[in-house]
Structure 1
Amino acid sequence: MGLKVHGSNTSTATLRVVATLHEKQLDFDFVFVNLRTGSHKEKPFLSLNPFGQVPAFEDGDLQLFESRAITKYIASAYDDNGTPLIYKDPKQMAILGVWMEVEALQFDIAGSALVWELFYKNSIYGQPPDAAVVEENEKSLANVLDVYEGRLGKSKYLGGDSFTLADLHHLPIVHLLMDTKEKKHFDERPHVSAWSKDILSRPSWQKAIAMWKQVY
Protein backbone atom coordinates (compact mmCIF):
# COMPACT_ATOMS: atom_id res chain seq x y z
CA MET A 1 0.00 0.00 0.00
CA GLY A 2 3.01 2.29 0.40
CA LEU A 3 3.65 5.39 2.47
CA LYS A 4 1.27 8.36 2.33
CA VAL A 5 1.58 11.83 3.80
CA HIS A 6 -1.64 13.80 4.04
CA GLY A 7 -0.80 17.46 4.51
CA SER A 8 -0.10 20.87 3.09
CA ASN A 9 3.09 22.23 1.63
CA THR A 10 2.45 25.41 3.63
CA SER A 11 2.55 23.47 6.91
CA THR A 12 5.80 23.39 8.89
CA ALA A 13 4.73 20.16 10.59
CA THR A 14 4.07 18.52 7.23
CA LEU A 15 7.49 19.56 5.94
CA ARG A 16 9.11 18.04 9.04
CA VAL A 17 7.71 14.65 8.01
CA VAL A 18 8.57 15.14 4.34
CA ALA A 19 12.19 15.98 5.23
CA THR A 20 12.41 12.81 7.31
CA LEU A 21 11.17 10.67 4.44
CA HIS A 22 13.70 12.24 2.09
CA GLU A 23 16.46 11.74 4.68
CA LYS A 24 15.54 8.06 4.82
CA GLN A 25 15.41 7.92 1.00
CA LEU A 26 11.87 6.56 1.04
CA ASP A 27 9.30 6.89 -1.72
CA PHE A 28 5.92 8.21 -0.64
CA ASP A 29 2.68 9.63 -1.99
CA PHE A 30 1.76 13.17 -0.99
CA VAL A 31 -1.98 13.77 -0.56
CA PHE A 32 -2.69 17.50 -0.56
CA VAL A 33 -5.04 18.76 2.15
CA ASN A 34 -6.42 22.22 1.36
CA LEU A 35 -6.20 24.23 4.57
CA ARG A 36 -7.72 27.33 2.95
CA THR A 37 -10.99 25.53 2.26
CA GLY A 38 -11.00 23.77 5.63
CA SER A 39 -10.57 20.23 4.29
CA HIS A 40 -8.61 19.33 7.42
CA LYS A 41 -11.69 19.97 9.55
CA GLU A 42 -13.98 17.73 7.52
CA LYS A 43 -14.44 14.08 6.66
CA PRO A 44 -12.68 12.02 5.40
CA PHE A 45 -9.57 13.71 6.83
CA LEU A 46 -10.92 13.64 10.39
CA SER A 47 -10.77 9.85 10.25
CA LEU A 48 -6.99 10.22 9.99
CA ASN A 49 -6.57 12.96 12.59
CA PRO A 50 -9.56 13.67 14.85
CA PHE A 51 -8.02 17.00 15.86
CA GLY A 52 -8.23 18.26 12.29
CA GLN A 53 -4.56 19.15 11.95
CA VAL A 54 -1.98 18.21 9.34
CA PRO A 55 -0.10 16.06 8.73
CA ALA A 56 -1.51 12.57 8.90
CA PHE A 57 0.49 9.54 7.82
CA GLU A 58 -0.24 6.05 6.54
CA ASP A 59 2.04 3.06 6.26
CA GLY A 60 -0.15 0.24 5.06
CA ASP A 61 -2.79 -0.30 7.75
CA LEU A 62 -0.98 1.95 10.25
CA GLN A 63 -2.33 5.47 10.64
CA LEU A 64 -0.52 8.16 12.63
CA PHE A 65 -0.78 11.85 13.36
CA GLU A 66 1.44 14.40 15.18
CA SER A 67 4.55 15.12 13.14
CA ARG A 68 7.15 14.18 15.76
CA ALA A 69 5.45 10.85 16.46
CA ILE A 70 5.48 10.19 12.72
CA THR A 71 9.17 11.02 12.33
CA LYS A 72 10.07 8.77 15.27
CA TYR A 73 8.17 5.91 13.69
CA ILE A 74 9.84 6.41 10.31
CA ALA A 75 13.30 6.58 11.88
CA SER A 76 12.68 3.37 13.83
CA ALA A 77 10.73 1.31 11.29
CA TYR A 78 13.09 2.16 8.44
CA ASP A 79 16.30 2.26 10.44
CA ASP A 80 18.31 0.56 7.68
CA ASN A 81 17.33 3.13 5.05
CA GLY A 82 19.21 6.35 4.41
CA THR A 83 20.57 8.35 7.34
CA PRO A 84 20.34 6.80 10.83
CA LEU A 85 18.28 9.43 12.67
CA ILE A 86 18.19 7.72 16.05
CA TYR A 87 20.69 5.73 18.13
CA LYS A 88 20.62 2.08 19.10
CA ASP A 89 22.65 2.62 22.26
CA PRO A 90 20.25 3.37 25.17
CA LYS A 91 22.45 6.07 26.71
CA GLN A 92 22.94 7.86 23.40
CA MET A 93 19.22 7.59 22.75
CA ALA A 94 18.47 9.04 26.17
CA ILE A 95 20.62 12.09 25.41
CA LEU A 96 19.01 12.41 21.99
CA GLY A 97 15.61 12.23 23.67
CA VAL A 98 16.47 15.17 25.91
CA TRP A 99 17.25 17.42 22.95
CA MET A 100 14.16 16.29 21.09
CA GLU A 101 12.14 17.37 24.12
CA VAL A 102 14.01 20.69 24.22
CA GLU A 103 13.10 21.34 20.60
CA ALA A 104 9.42 20.61 21.19
CA LEU A 105 8.99 22.29 24.57
CA GLN A 106 11.49 25.16 24.45
CA PHE A 107 12.61 26.08 20.94
CA ASP A 108 9.41 25.42 19.03
CA ILE A 109 7.15 27.38 21.36
CA ALA A 110 9.15 30.58 20.94
CA GLY A 111 10.13 29.93 17.33
CA SER A 112 6.62 29.15 16.13
CA ALA A 113 5.22 32.26 17.80
CA LEU A 114 7.84 34.39 16.06
CA VAL A 115 7.26 32.70 12.72
CA TRP A 116 3.53 33.43 13.02
CA GLU A 117 4.04 37.08 13.93
CA LEU A 118 6.92 37.90 11.59
CA PHE A 119 6.36 35.60 8.62
CA TYR A 120 2.80 34.37 8.27
CA LYS A 121 0.95 37.24 9.91
CA ASN A 122 3.12 40.04 8.56
CA SER A 123 4.49 38.81 5.24
CA ILE A 124 1.65 36.54 4.13
CA TYR A 125 -1.49 38.12 5.58
CA GLY A 126 -0.32 41.74 5.61
CA GLN A 127 -1.13 42.25 9.29
CA PRO A 128 1.21 44.05 11.69
CA PRO A 129 3.00 41.81 14.20
CA ASP A 130 2.16 42.10 17.89
CA ALA A 131 5.23 43.85 19.28
CA ALA A 132 4.70 42.52 22.81
CA VAL A 133 4.44 38.92 21.60
CA VAL A 134 7.55 39.34 19.46
CA GLU A 135 9.55 40.84 22.33
CA GLU A 136 8.57 38.10 24.79
CA ASN A 137 9.34 35.25 22.43
CA GLU A 138 12.50 36.85 21.11
CA LYS A 139 13.88 36.76 24.65
CA SER A 140 12.86 33.12 25.01
CA LEU A 141 14.48 32.23 21.68
CA ALA A 142 17.71 33.98 22.66
CA ASN A 143 17.82 32.04 25.94
CA VAL A 144 17.33 28.73 24.12
CA LEU A 145 20.02 29.57 21.59
CA ASP A 146 22.43 30.44 24.41
CA VAL A 147 21.97 26.89 25.67
CA TYR A 148 22.42 25.55 22.14
CA GLU A 149 25.65 27.50 21.74
CA GLY A 150 27.07 25.76 24.79
CA ARG A 151 25.86 22.35 23.67
CA LEU A 152 27.13 22.75 20.10
CA GLY A 153 30.52 23.77 21.44
CA LYS A 154 30.80 20.20 22.75
CA SER A 155 29.23 18.20 19.91
CA LYS A 156 28.64 18.90 16.23
CA TYR A 157 24.90 18.28 16.51
CA LEU A 158 22.43 18.59 19.37
CA GLY A 159 21.96 14.87 19.95
CA GLY A 160 25.63 13.97 19.50
CA ASP A 161 28.18 13.90 16.71
CA SER A 162 25.76 12.80 13.99
CA PHE A 163 22.67 14.41 12.47
CA THR A 164 19.52 13.06 14.12
CA LEU A 165 15.85 13.85 14.65
CA ALA A 166 16.88 16.34 17.33
CA ASP A 167 18.31 18.51 14.57
CA LEU A 168 15.84 17.66 11.82
CA HIS A 169 12.83 18.68 13.89
CA HIS A 170 14.17 22.25 13.94
CA LEU A 171 14.34 22.63 10.17
CA PRO A 172 10.97 24.22 9.27
CA ILE A 173 11.08 26.90 11.97
CA VAL A 174 14.79 27.68 11.55
CA HIS A 175 14.24 28.01 7.81
CA LEU A 176 11.48 30.58 8.25
CA LEU A 177 13.24 32.49 11.01
CA MET A 178 16.14 33.08 8.62
CA ASP A 179 13.81 35.31 6.60
CA THR A 180 13.07 37.50 9.62
CA LYS A 181 15.02 39.81 11.90
CA GLU A 182 15.50 36.87 14.26
CA LYS A 183 18.28 35.62 11.97
CA LYS A 184 20.66 37.84 13.95
CA HIS A 185 20.30 35.56 16.99
CA PHE A 186 21.66 32.66 14.97
CA ASP A 187 24.41 34.70 13.34
CA GLU A 188 25.64 36.11 16.67
CA ARG A 189 26.41 32.64 18.03
CA PRO A 190 29.24 30.94 16.10
CA HIS A 191 28.35 27.33 16.92
CA VAL A 192 24.63 27.91 16.38
CA SER A 193 25.37 29.68 13.10
CA ALA A 194 27.51 26.80 11.80
CA TRP A 195 24.91 24.25 12.91
CA SER A 196 21.99 26.05 11.30
CA LYS A 197 23.83 26.46 8.00
CA ASP A 198 24.78 22.78 8.09
CA ILE A 199 21.29 21.40 8.66
CA LEU A 200 19.60 23.82 6.25
CA SER A 201 21.94 22.73 3.46
CA ARG A 202 21.04 19.05 3.68
CA PRO A 203 19.65 17.60 0.42
CA SER A 204 16.61 16.24 2.27
CA TRP A 205 15.62 19.72 3.36
CA GLN A 206 16.28 21.21 -0.06
CA LYS A 207 13.83 18.68 -1.50
CA ALA A 208 11.28 19.58 1.19
CA ILE A 209 11.48 23.32 0.57
CA ALA A 210 11.19 22.74 -3.18
CA MET A 211 7.65 21.67 -2.31
CA TRP A 212 7.22 24.79 -0.16
CA LYS A 213 8.36 27.05 -3.00
CA GLN A 214 5.52 25.83 -5.16
CA VAL A 215 3.42 28.23 -3.07
CA TYR A 216 5.83 30.82 -1.63
Structure 2
Amino acid sequence: MAPIKLYGNPFSTATMRASASLHEKEVEFEFVQVDMKNGEHKKEPFLSLNPFGQVPAFEDGDLKLFESRAITQYVAHEYADKGTPLISNDSKKMAILRMWIEVENHQYDQAASKLVWEQVVKPMYGMTTDPAVVEEHETKLGTVLDFYEKTLSGSKYLAGECFTLADLHHLPTINYLMSTQSKKLFESRPHVNAWVSDITARPAWSKVLSMLKR
Protein backbone atom coordinates (compact mmCIF):
# COMPACT_ATOMS: atom_id res chain seq x y z
CA MET A 1 0.00 0.00 0.00
CA ALA A 2 1.25 3.49 -0.84
CA PRO A 3 2.34 5.53 2.18
CA ILE A 4 0.12 8.24 3.64
CA LYS A 5 1.23 11.63 2.39
CA LEU A 6 0.38 15.05 3.76
CA TYR A 7 1.22 17.95 1.45
CA GLY A 8 1.44 21.36 3.04
CA ASN A 9 3.45 24.03 4.79
CA PRO A 10 4.35 23.59 8.48
CA PHE A 11 3.39 27.22 9.25
CA SER A 12 -0.09 26.85 7.74
CA THR A 13 -2.85 26.54 10.35
CA ALA A 14 -4.77 24.11 8.13
CA THR A 15 -1.68 21.94 7.62
CA MET A 16 -1.03 21.98 11.37
CA ARG A 17 -4.62 20.86 12.02
CA ALA A 18 -4.27 17.87 9.69
CA SER A 19 -0.84 16.84 10.98
CA ALA A 20 -2.05 17.06 14.58
CA SER A 21 -4.71 14.45 13.87
CA LEU A 22 -2.16 12.09 12.34
CA HIS A 23 0.18 12.47 15.32
CA GLU A 24 -2.69 11.95 17.79
CA LYS A 25 -3.64 8.75 15.98
CA GLU A 26 0.03 7.66 15.89
CA VAL A 27 -0.24 7.11 12.15
CA GLU A 28 3.01 7.18 10.19
CA PHE A 29 2.97 9.56 7.25
CA GLU A 30 5.26 11.32 4.82
CA PHE A 31 5.20 15.10 4.99
CA VAL A 32 5.70 16.74 1.60
CA GLN A 33 6.48 20.42 2.01
CA VAL A 34 4.86 22.77 -0.49
CA ASP A 35 6.90 25.91 -1.26
CA MET A 36 4.16 28.51 -1.00
CA LYS A 37 6.56 31.45 -1.32
CA ASN A 38 7.30 30.29 -4.86
CA GLY A 39 3.66 29.56 -5.55
CA GLU A 40 3.90 25.79 -5.77
CA HIS A 41 0.36 25.52 -4.38
CA LYS A 42 -0.99 27.41 -7.39
CA LYS A 43 0.68 25.19 -10.00
CA GLU A 44 0.65 21.62 -11.18
CA PRO A 45 1.22 19.00 -9.92
CA PHE A 46 -0.24 20.36 -6.66
CA LEU A 47 -3.45 21.57 -8.33
CA SER A 48 -4.21 17.96 -9.22
CA LEU A 49 -4.40 17.31 -5.46
CA ASN A 50 -6.27 20.48 -4.48
CA PRO A 51 -7.88 22.37 -7.37
CA PHE A 52 -8.37 25.44 -5.14
CA GLY A 53 -4.62 25.87 -4.72
CA GLN A 54 -4.64 25.75 -0.94
CA VAL A 55 -2.81 23.54 1.54
CA PRO A 56 -3.09 20.89 2.77
CA ALA A 57 -3.70 17.97 0.48
CA PHE A 58 -3.72 14.35 1.59
CA GLU A 59 -3.25 10.91 0.07
CA ASP A 60 -3.94 7.54 1.65
CA GLY A 61 -3.51 4.90 -1.02
CA ASP A 62 -5.90 5.79 -3.82
CA LEU A 63 -7.84 8.24 -1.64
CA LYS A 64 -7.15 11.93 -2.21
CA LEU A 65 -8.55 14.61 0.09
CA PHE A 66 -8.24 18.31 0.73
CA GLU A 67 -9.78 20.61 3.38
CA SER A 68 -8.15 20.06 6.77
CA ARG A 69 -11.31 19.27 8.73
CA ALA A 70 -12.29 16.60 6.21
CA ILE A 71 -8.82 15.10 6.56
CA THR A 72 -8.95 15.04 10.36
CA GLN A 73 -12.34 13.35 10.34
CA TYR A 74 -11.21 10.71 7.86
CA VAL A 75 -8.10 10.00 9.93
CA ALA A 76 -10.14 9.74 13.14
CA HIS A 77 -12.61 7.27 11.59
CA GLU A 78 -10.24 5.24 9.41
CA TYR A 79 -7.69 4.75 12.18
CA ALA A 80 -10.15 4.56 15.07
CA ASP A 81 -8.26 1.64 16.61
CA LYS A 82 -5.00 3.60 16.87
CA GLY A 83 -3.79 6.34 19.19
CA THR A 84 -6.15 8.83 20.81
CA PRO A 85 -9.91 8.20 20.33
CA LEU A 86 -10.79 11.52 18.70
CA ILE A 87 -14.41 10.56 18.00
CA SER A 88 -17.14 8.57 19.75
CA ASN A 89 -19.16 5.46 18.89
CA ASP A 90 -22.10 6.87 20.83
CA SER A 91 -24.48 8.67 18.46
CA LYS A 92 -25.47 11.36 20.97
CA LYS A 93 -21.87 12.10 21.97
CA MET A 94 -20.89 12.17 18.30
CA ALA A 95 -23.71 14.61 17.57
CA ILE A 96 -22.38 16.95 20.26
CA LEU A 97 -18.85 16.55 18.91
CA ARG A 98 -19.98 17.39 15.38
CA MET A 99 -21.82 20.43 16.71
CA TRP A 100 -18.61 21.71 18.27
CA ILE A 101 -16.69 21.05 15.06
CA GLU A 102 -19.21 23.32 13.35
CA VAL A 103 -18.90 25.93 16.11
CA GLU A 104 -15.13 26.01 15.69
CA ASN A 105 -15.39 26.33 11.93
CA HIS A 106 -18.22 28.85 11.63
CA GLN A 107 -18.05 30.85 14.88
CA TYR A 108 -14.61 30.67 16.50
CA ASP A 109 -12.43 30.43 13.41
CA GLN A 110 -14.11 33.31 11.59
CA ALA A 111 -12.73 35.72 14.19
CA ALA A 112 -9.59 33.83 15.22
CA SER A 113 -8.20 33.44 11.71
CA LYS A 114 -8.73 37.12 11.00
CA LEU A 115 -6.79 37.98 14.15
CA VAL A 116 -3.96 35.64 13.13
CA TRP A 117 -3.88 37.31 9.71
CA GLU A 118 -3.74 40.83 11.15
CA GLN A 119 -1.28 40.20 13.98
CA VAL A 120 0.95 37.38 12.73
CA VAL A 121 0.81 36.99 8.97
CA LYS A 122 0.73 40.65 7.90
CA PRO A 123 3.81 41.61 9.97
CA MET A 124 5.68 38.62 8.54
CA TYR A 125 5.18 40.05 5.05
CA GLY A 126 5.88 43.66 5.95
CA MET A 127 2.24 44.72 5.95
CA THR A 128 0.65 46.93 8.58
CA THR A 129 -1.76 45.56 11.15
CA ASP A 130 -5.11 47.36 11.22
CA PRO A 131 -5.99 48.09 14.88
CA ALA A 132 -9.67 48.64 14.03
CA VAL A 133 -9.93 45.19 12.46
CA VAL A 134 -8.17 43.65 15.47
CA GLU A 135 -10.56 45.37 17.87
CA GLU A 136 -13.61 44.28 15.86
CA HIS A 137 -12.60 40.64 15.75
CA GLU A 138 -11.40 40.54 19.36
CA THR A 139 -14.92 41.59 20.31
CA LYS A 140 -16.38 38.84 18.15
CA LEU A 141 -13.97 36.22 19.50
CA GLY A 142 -14.64 37.34 23.06
CA THR A 143 -18.35 36.65 22.60
CA VAL A 144 -17.56 33.13 21.36
CA LEU A 145 -15.15 32.51 24.22
CA ASP A 146 -17.78 33.58 26.74
CA PHE A 147 -19.82 30.62 25.53
CA TYR A 148 -16.73 28.40 25.74
CA GLU A 149 -16.12 29.54 29.32
CA LYS A 150 -19.63 28.55 30.31
CA THR A 151 -19.30 25.16 28.60
CA LEU A 152 -15.87 24.42 30.05
CA SER A 153 -17.09 25.24 33.55
CA GLY A 154 -19.04 21.99 33.32
CA SER A 155 -16.69 19.73 31.37
CA LYS A 156 -12.95 19.36 30.86
CA TYR A 157 -13.19 19.58 27.08
CA LEU A 158 -15.65 21.15 24.67
CA ALA A 159 -17.55 17.98 23.78
CA GLY A 160 -17.27 16.27 27.17
CA GLU A 161 -14.61 14.75 29.39
CA CYS A 162 -12.38 13.45 26.59
CA PHE A 163 -10.10 15.28 24.15
CA THR A 164 -11.63 15.11 20.65
CA LEU A 165 -11.42 16.66 17.21
CA ALA A 166 -13.55 19.50 18.58
CA ASP A 167 -10.60 20.56 20.74
CA LEU A 168 -7.86 19.64 18.28
CA HIS A 169 -9.23 21.89 15.54
CA HIS A 170 -8.57 24.97 17.69
CA LEU A 171 -4.88 24.31 18.28
CA PRO A 172 -3.29 26.08 15.28
CA THR A 173 -4.99 29.43 15.76
CA ILE A 174 -4.56 29.29 19.53
CA ASN A 175 -0.85 28.66 19.02
CA TYR A 176 -0.46 31.87 17.03
CA LEU A 177 -2.84 34.03 19.04
CA MET A 178 -1.06 33.25 22.31
CA SER A 179 1.91 35.20 20.94
CA THR A 180 -0.22 38.30 20.32
CA GLN A 181 -2.19 40.81 22.39
CA SER A 182 -5.25 38.62 21.81
CA LYS A 183 -3.95 36.08 24.31
CA LYS A 184 -5.77 38.15 26.94
CA LEU A 185 -9.05 36.82 25.56
CA PHE A 186 -8.05 33.31 26.60
CA GLU A 187 -6.13 34.10 29.78
CA SER A 188 -8.91 36.26 31.26
CA ARG A 189 -11.36 33.34 31.23
CA PRO A 190 -10.20 30.78 33.84
CA HIS A 191 -11.80 27.67 32.35
CA VAL A 192 -10.78 28.59 28.81
CA ASN A 193 -7.25 29.29 30.05
CA ALA A 194 -7.04 25.87 31.74
CA TRP A 195 -8.35 24.21 28.58
CA VAL A 196 -5.75 26.00 26.44
CA SER A 197 -2.96 24.96 28.81
CA ASP A 198 -4.15 21.35 28.67
CA ILE A 199 -4.55 20.93 24.91
CA THR A 200 -1.39 22.83 23.97
CA ALA A 201 0.68 20.56 26.25
CA ARG A 202 -0.26 17.38 24.38
CA PRO A 203 2.74 15.36 23.06
CA ALA A 204 1.17 15.13 19.58
CA TRP A 205 0.95 18.92 19.40
CA SER A 206 4.60 19.20 20.39
CA LYS A 207 5.43 17.09 17.34
CA VAL A 208 3.49 19.49 15.13
CA LEU A 209 5.36 22.47 16.57
CA SER A 210 8.71 20.73 16.07
CA MET A 211 8.08 20.91 12.31
CA LEU A 212 8.27 24.71 12.56
CA LYS A 213 11.89 24.52 13.67
CA ARG A 214 13.21 22.45 10.78
Instruction: State if a TM-score over 0.5 links the two structures.
Output: yes
Residues 57-102 of structure 1: per-residue CA shift (max 9 Å, x gap): 0000000000000000000000000000001100000001111100
Take 2:71 and 2:43, find their aligned partners in 1: how far apart are those partners? 21
Which 5+ residue runs of structure 2 have no aligned equivalent?
A: none
Normalised by the length of structure 1, the TM-score is 0.97
TM-score between the two structures when normalised by the length of structure 2:
0.98
Deviation track 1:165-206 (CA, whole Å, cap 9, x = no partner) reads: 000000000010000001111111000000000000000000
Aligned position for 1:80: 81
CA distance in 2, matches of 1:11, 1:97: 23
Q: Deviations over 1:137-186 (max 9, x none)?
A: 01011001100000001110001110000000000000100000011111
| Residues 34-57 of structure 1 deviation map (CA, whole Å, 9 limit, x = unaligned) | 000000010111110000100000
Residue identity in the other structure for 1:171: L
Q: Distance in 1 between matches of 2:133 and 2:75?
A: 35
Equivalent position SS for 1:31: strand
1:152 equivalent to 2:158? Answer no
Helix, strand or coil at the partner of 1:129: coil
In the other structure, the counterpart of 2:190 is 190
Which residue of the partner structure matches residue 164 of structure 2? 164
Q: Secondary structure at the match of 2:6?
A: strand
One-letter amino acid matched to 1:100: I
Q: Equivalents in 2 of 1:49, 1:126: separation in Å?
A: 28
Secondary structure (helix, strand or coil) at the match of 2:112 reads helix
Q: Distance in 1 between matches of 2:159 and 2:5?
A: 28
Letter in 2 for 1:185: L
1:66 lines up with 2:67 in the alignment: yes
Query: Residue type matched to 1:205 in 2?
Result: W
Distance (Å, rounded) in 1 between the aligned partners of 2:143 and 2:64: 37
Instruction: Give the Cα–Cα distance (whole angstroms) in 2 for the partners of residues 208 and 78 of structure 1.
Output: 19
Report sequence identity in percent: 59
Q: Partners of 1:201 and 1:213 in 2: how far apart? A: 17
Match of 2:205 in 1: 205
The code of the aligned residue for 1:199 comes to I
**1:174 partnered with 2:174:** yes
Tell me the residue number matched to 1:115.
116
1:32 aligns with 2:48: no
Aligned to 2:57: 56
- Number of aligned residue pairs: give it: 213
Show the counterpart of 1:22: 23
The yes-or-no answer on 1:137 pairing with 2:125 is: no
Cα RMSD of the aligned pairs, angstroms, is 0.7
CA distance, structure 2, for counterparts of residue 121 and residue 108 of structure 1:
18
**Over 3 Å off, 4+ runs:** none
Residue 126 (structure 1) shift: 3.0
Q: 1:47 corresponds to which letter in structure 2?
A: S
